[in-house]
Chain A
Amino acid sequence: MKNLSLNKKTLTPVGTHFLLILIGIIFLLPLYSMFVTSLTSEANLYVRESKFLLKNLEFSSYKHALQAGPWGRYFFNSLLVSSIVTLGQLVTASMAGYAFARFDFVGKNLIFYAILGTMMIPVEITIIPNYMILSSLGWLDSYYALIIPFLAHSFGIFFIRQHVMTIPEGLFDAAQIDGCGYIRSLWKIVLPLSKPTLATVGLITFLNNWNTFLWPMIVTNSDKLRTVQIALARFQAGDIIGVTPWNQVMAATVIVTLPIIVVFLLAQKQLISGMMSGGMKF
């Protein structure tokens, strides 16, 4: 049995599992607390045992949390924005990744490093001028502000470029002999062979956009455009219905988090294997 990390004499399989279970429990504790609290009645919030024990559970906090605001609208907003952004990034990243991987052109290196550079320019730094740009375009408090700036991102470009570079030259040569032009090669060869990569990029992009906080908070203001994250933060801060009891806050958190956890559990194999093969090295 291979044990590439710790010598068999140092840590037995039982020992490894024991340690991992211990750490696992510590990792799960916050989520456990979140769930238990969400199912606690307001009176029981102040009872010590209710933190640990699954006694006297009830769903009233969920009812109250859901009634506090138009969650349907919030979810719709998040879903709409994240879906369009994901689709957009897949399109732009496929095209750009393909270009970098298969083409030679004037200024290739310059543009490549410029795009690499965008990774160094955190959103937090460009948010102020972007706010003013969006304001002058009249896009503040609109879906445009939430979607357009994110239709391209360096992450997907590098991921896909990395992958396309592994497609054998021969396939492209054969296609060219068959009369395939540049664009048809993209359509007929690259995309079909890139399905796992595209899935990974899509998943990560969707999740990141779904979870994003600072940008929507600054560029949107009205309730009908709020994303799920901002709504949650406001709910906790008592901006929606005054000081919110913690069991309702946790209920709202569960409501917002559960879809992501479900998606993650279903897609984790794809996600993790995609991340690990994604060439995250320098």
Chain B
Amino acid sequence: MKICSRRVKESAVAYALLLPSLVIFSFFVFYPLLKSFYHSFFELDLIGTSTYIGLGNYQRMITDYDFINSLKVTFIYLIGAVPVRAALALGLALLLNAKLKGLAIYRTVFFMPTMISIAAASIVWMWLYHPNEGLFNSILAFFGQSPKRWLTDPKLALYSIILMTLWKTTGYYMIIFLAGLQGVPEELYEAAKLDGAGAIKVFLNVTWPLISPTTFFILVVSSIDAFKLFNPVYIMTKGGPLQSTRVIIFYLYQQAFEFFRMGYASALAIVVFAILILFTIVQFSVGGKRTHYQ
């Protein structure tokens, strides 16, 4: 009896402690998700007039060229940004992992862009990419090269955004890699050196396997993050030129807040959510096997 009532009391207190968080999550995360799902079966506008259309929105999606295109753009962005960013972050972390004096300054420099707001960063890079007065074209002009239309060339614009993202977010992942690198035991490096292993062998056989949980974590988080790209597109290119930077979330935003097709936008949101989950599951099943845990 005594144990029973103690467990009940423990559960009650735990729930009381969790209540505030759960209330917020229920109202602003879980309920909206369900509501989105519900709305996706309707045609809905801002005023609230709604018409039930069953799977109409989903059917429309399949033949919606703009939707498919935005998925394509998102994936190009993902493939362009995620591996490069991870490699860059790892490279910087390796450099900074050396026990040399004064490395803290570099760490600050590389991490600082993460602190700047995405709005500020986008605006600064818009200036850098300015066709006439921007820094990059000024540098090109200095070397006698012709200026590039960084944000107005459909073939270039998405990569310009990728470059800005790399600048802004690599530092964050570098810190995470640094944390992972510090978890590698000294003895393993010493043993490898005793065996006469060169730097590359040490990296491939000791470092890389042992930081694989970190690498895995970074790839998953980094991918989810890349999927959510919105702010730079909104500020720098508004999806253009010629829809070459219109990523899926921006497309969703346009459907909801420029065309007021709330029902369709809700369906898009549900599909994006499903893709995210699927993508993460795939990453877990592929990566999970390759991750070594000590």
Binding site for B on A (CB under 8 A): 1-7, 9-11, 13, 16-17, 19-20, 23-24, 27-31, 33-34, 37, 45-46, 48, 51-52, 91-93, 95-96, 98-99, 103-106, 108, 111, 114-115, 118, 120-122, 124-130, 132-133, 148-149, 151-152, 157, 182-183, 186, 207, 210-211, 213-214, 218, 229-230, 232-233, 236, 246, 249-250, 253, 256-257, 260-261, 264-265, 268, 272, 275-277, 280-282
Contacts and interface: CB of A to CB of B under 8 A. Distances in A.
A148 B29 CA distance: 12
A129 B138 contact: no
A250 B265 CA distance: 35
Contacts of B79: none
A114 B109 CA distance: 37
The 10 closest A-B pairs by CB, nearest first: A211-B117, A7-B199, A129-B32, A105-B11, A152-B24, A276-B179, A5-B94, A103-B14, A126-B32, A129-B35
A229 B235 CA distance: 11
Given A2-B99, A152-B24, A232-B123, A125 B272 contact: yes
Interface of B: 7, 10-11, 13-15, 17-18, 20-25, 27-33, 35-36, 39, 92, 94-100, 102-103, 105-113, 115-121, 123-128, 130, 132-133, 135, 138, 141-142, 167, 175-176, 178-182, 184, 186, 189, 193, 198-199, 202-203, 207, 213-214, 216-217, 220, 224, 227-228, 230-231, 234-235, 249, 252-253, 256-257, 262, 265-266, 269-270, 272-273, 276-277, 280
A86 to B, nearest CB: 14
B20 A211 contact: no
B42 to A, nearest CB: 12
Nearest to B132: A46
A260 B116 contact: yes
7 contacts: A27-B109, A30-B124, A37-B127, A118-B29, A211-B118, A214-B234, A260-B115
A277 B214 CA distance: 13
Nearest to B250: A124
Contacts of A51: 133, 135, 138
A95 B39 contact: no
A129 B116 CA distance: 29
Given A20-B95, A105-B14, A105-B15, A249 B123 contact: yes
Given A7-B198, A128-B36, A232 B120 contact: yes
Given A46-B133, A128-B266, A282-B213, A229 B119 contact: yes
A280 B220 CA distance: 12
A276 B128 contact: no
Contacts, number: 283
B116 A257 contact: yes
A281 B214 contact: yes
Nearest to A1: B99
B178 A276 contact: yes
A232 B245 CA distance: 22
Given A5-B97, A129-B266, A236-B123, A207 B167 contact: no
B161 to A, nearest CB: 14
B117 A128 contact: no
Contact of B231 (A9, A115, A214): A214
A4 B118 CA distance: 34
Contacts of A98: 17
B20 A257 contact: no
A152 B29 CA distance: 11
B10 A33 contact: no
A29 B115 CA distance: 16
Given A7-B198, A105-B11, A277-B179, A218 B257 contact: yes
Nearest to B164: A30
Contact of B21 (A45, A48, A92, A122): A92
Given A105-B15, A233-B119, A96 B98 contact: no
Contacts of B235: 233, 236
A272 B17 CA distance: 29
Nearest to B277: A120
Contacts of B13: 99, 103, 182-183
B276 A120 contact: yes
Nearest to A208: B117
Given A122-B249, A211-B119, 18 more contacts: A5-B95, A5-B98, A9-B198, A20-B106, A48-B138, A91-B20, A105-B10, A114-B25, A120-B277, A126-B28, A133-B28, A133-B35, A148-B28, A229-B117, A233-B235, A253-B123, A277-B179, A281-B180
B124 A3 contact: no
Contact of A207 (B20, B115, B220): B115
B49 to A, nearest CB: 13
Nearest to B265: A128
Contacts of B257: 218
Contacts of B95: 5-6, 16, 19-20
A3 B20 contact: no
Contacts of A268: 108, 111
B160 to A, nearest CB: 13
A103 B36 CA distance: 34
